[in-house]
């Protein structure tokens, strides 16, 4: 599954890169407050918007990723604690006396 995700990422990147390479003409970039940057190659604008989109996506996904990592760490600790408890209960104590139980007398 990991390979499929990486292949999909690579395909998206190559498609965006090929699209950007076909669009290299100069453009005017207009910002707020009538600020204009003229003669910027379109490839620069497209790749910077792509990178900003990836960063924004990672920023949005970061809380859920961190939550899952914390949950996984908590579950690993709990599993280790339960395994240790299981090992301790399966080992009979060395100093414990063996109890004998007399059979019940018939009625």
Domain borders along the chain are 2-66
What's the pTM value of the predicted model, to 2 decimals? 0.54
- Which runs of consecutive H residues, i.e. helices, occur in 23-41? none
User: Residue 87: how many CA atoms within 13 Å on its side-chain side?
Assistant: 6
Say how far residue 81 (Cα) sits from the centre of its chain: 25
pLDDT tens sequence for the chain (107 residues): 889 999 999 999 899 788 878 888 999 999 888 889 999 988 888 889 989 999 999 999 999 999 999 999 999 999 999 999 888 876 655 655 556 666 676 66
């Amino acid at each position: 599954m990991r390979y499929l995700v990486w292949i999909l990422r690579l395909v998206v990147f190559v498609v965006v890169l090929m699209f950007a390479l076909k669009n290299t003409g100069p453009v005017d970039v207009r910002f707020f407050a009538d600020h204009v940057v003229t003669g910027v190659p379109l490839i620069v604008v497209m790749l910077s918007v792509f990178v900003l989109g990836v960063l924004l996506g990672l920023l949005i996904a970061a809380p859920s990723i961190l939550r899952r990592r914390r949950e996984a760490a908590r579950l690993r600790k709990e599993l280790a604690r339960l395994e240790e408890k299981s090992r301790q209960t399966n080992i009979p104590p060395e100093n414990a006396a063996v109890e004998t139980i007399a059979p019940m007398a018939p009625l």
